[in-house]
């Protein structure tokens, strides 16, 4: 790798009102070849068109493709699994679970929940064997007949429930299912992985799985070591997205280093990243023609009221 000086700087600090100004400063600095982030939907929306108009690659690590979807974002690379991929992996997880044969898939009538639930259901139908199937239902956050829904699920003989939606209705459903006598497998997506899921579900949250692109610092010895080094160097803790940001940064450095003998500019860096890969703390980050094709979401399970990481969902095979 040729000798390159790498400089890191903070930009919008995750604040939408700072995003456009921070983007313009990066654009005006000819030495800036790529940007890690922005890190929130609002900041991506504010700055994305500016980065793309300037031909400056921005690699987001905490916003999904669906959330950042904009035809004007020509230099955007999303380094997280999209919602469709999450649904596919959740469906495959249920299909290979040794204790699930009749699943009910539920959404919260929001766009995210419906899209992911449809993908889960599609996998279960395609993998149908004998009476194995996936039923579909919906649950709105302010629904008043949640107990009736839970009762229908138990009466159907379902041994697995996948709820795709926000954390509050997910917690309420988990509690209602437990009260109705459900003892099967429960799984939800990244929008349920918040403390109020556990708070609302109570003891019923125990054992539920959650598939998310969040990578917690205790996921592996490598992420624990990273968190310790981050704390020592900067006196800050590793938040949910720190490991992905680290991997994206490493991938950009590798891409720039791999351009030895090639003119180094924003276009060549984008081309290298859009068809590049990097294996790091969070698994494989890989793009094919700009589309994310890397590792899927990570899996957590609620144990003693905490979200315990189990690793990439495609690598985890449940045992009875």
Mean pLDDT of 211-216: 88
What's the CA gap between 224 and 31, in Å, rounded? 33
pLDDT of residue 2: 47
Mean pLDDT of 221-240: 90
Q: Which residues pair with 167 in a beta bridge?
A: none
Domain spans, the chain = 16-80+241-289, 83-212+297-315
Q: What's the order of all strands across the beta sheet hosting 57-60?
A: 34-36, 57-60, 76-78
Instruction: Read off the pLDDT band of 224 (50, 70, 90).
Output: very high
The answer to whether the beta carbons of residues 191 and 165 sit under 8 Å apart is yes
pLDDT of residue 158: 92
Whether 197 shows a pLDDT value over 60: the answer reads yes
Q: Which residues pair with 107 in a beta bridge?
A: 138, 164
| Residue 10: φ, ψ to 5° | -80, 150
SS (H, E, C) the chain: CCCCCCCCCCCCCCCHHHHHHHHHHHHHCCCCCEEECCCCHHHHHHHHHHHHHCCCEEEECCCCCCCCCCCCCCCEEECCCCHHHHHHHHHHHHHHCCCCCEEEEEECCCHHHHHHHHHHHHHHHHCCCCCCEEEEEECCCCCCCHHHHHHHHHHCCCCEEEEECCHHHHHHHHHHHHHHCCCCEEEECHHHCCHHHHHHHHHHHCCCEEEECCCCCCCCHHHHHHHHHHHHHHCCCCCCCHHHHHHHHHHHHHHHHCCCCCCCCHHHHHHHHHCCEEEECCEEEEEECCEECCCCCEEEEEECCEEEEEEEHHHCCCCC
What's the CA gap between 119 and 112, in Å, rounded? 11
pLDDT of residue 214: 84
pLDDT of residue 192: 93
pLDDT of residue 150: 94
pLDDT more than 90, % of the chain: 62
Q: Quick: pLDDT tens for 5-60.
A: 666 666 666 677 888 999 999 999 999 999 998 888 889 989 999 999 999 999 99
Whether 132 shows a pLDDT value over 60: the answer reads no
| Residue 74: φ, ψ to 5° | -75, -20
pLDDT of residue 304: 95
The answer to whether the beta carbons of residues 60 and 78 sit under 8 Å apart is yes
Hey, what CATH topology would domain 83-212+297-315 get? Rossmann fold (3.40.50)
pLDDT of residue 10: 60
Q: Quick: pLDDT tens for 235-255.
A: 988 887 899 999 999 999 999
Compute the mean pLDDT over every residue in the chain, rounded to the nearest whole number: 88
Whether 67 shows a pLDDT value over 80: the answer reads no
Predicted model pTM: 0.85
Whether 319 shows a pLDDT value over 80: the answer reads no
Same fold, 16-80+241-289 and 83-212+297-315: yes
Q: Quick: pLDDT tens for 139-156.
A: 865 556 789 899 999 999
pLDDT of residue 40: 84
Degrees, nearest 5: CA angle 211-318-113: 25
CATH architecture of 16-80+241-289: 3-Layer(aba) Sandwich (3.40)
What's the CA gap between 26 and 239, in Å, rounded? 24
pLDDT of residue 130: 47
pLDDT of residue 65: 67
Question: CB 26: neighbour CB atoms within 10 A?
Answer: 22
Q: Quick: pLDDT tens for 270-295.
A: 999 999 999 999 999 999 999 999 99
């Amino acid at each position: 790798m040729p000798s390159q000086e790498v400089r890191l700087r903070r930009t919008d600090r995750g604040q939408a009102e700072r995003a456009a100004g921070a983007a313009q400063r990066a654009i005006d600095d000819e030495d800036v070849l790529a940007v890690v982030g922005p890190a929130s939907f609002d900041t991506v929306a504010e700055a994305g068109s500016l980065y793309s108009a300037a031909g400056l690659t921005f690699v987001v690590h905490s916003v999904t493709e669906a959330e950042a979807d904009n035809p004007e974002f020509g230099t955007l690379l999303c380094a997280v699994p999209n919602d469709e991929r999450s649904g596919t992996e959740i469906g495959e997880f249920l299909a290979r679970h040794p204790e699930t044969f009749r699943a009910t898939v539920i959404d919260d009538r929001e766009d995210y929940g419906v899209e992911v639930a449809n993908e889960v259901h599609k996998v279960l139908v395609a993998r149908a064997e004998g009476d194995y199937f996936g039923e579909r239902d919906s649950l709105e956050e302010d629904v008043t007949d949640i107990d009736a829904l839970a009762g229908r699920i138990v009466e159907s003989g379902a041994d697995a429930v996948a709820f795709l939606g926000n954390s509050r209705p997910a917690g309420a459903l988990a509690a209602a299912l437990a009260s109705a006598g459900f003892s099967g497998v429960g799984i939800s997506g990244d929008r349920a992985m918040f403390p109020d899921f556990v708070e609302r579900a109570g003891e019923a949250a125990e054992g539920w799985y959650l598939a998310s692109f969040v990578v917690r610092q205790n996921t592996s010895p490598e992420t624990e070591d990273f968190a310790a080094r981050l704390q020592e160097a900067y006196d800050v803790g590793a938040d949910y997205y720190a490991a992905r940001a680290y991997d994206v940064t490493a991938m950009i450095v590798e891409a720039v280093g791999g351009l030895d003998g090639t003119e180094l500019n924003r276009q060549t860096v984008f081309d290298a990243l859009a068809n590049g890969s990097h294996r790091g703390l969070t698994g494989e980050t890989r793009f094919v023609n700009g589309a994310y094709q890397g590792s899927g979401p990570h899996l957590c399970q609620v144990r003693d009221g905490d979200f315990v990481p189990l690793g990439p969902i495609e690598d985890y095979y449940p045992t009875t």
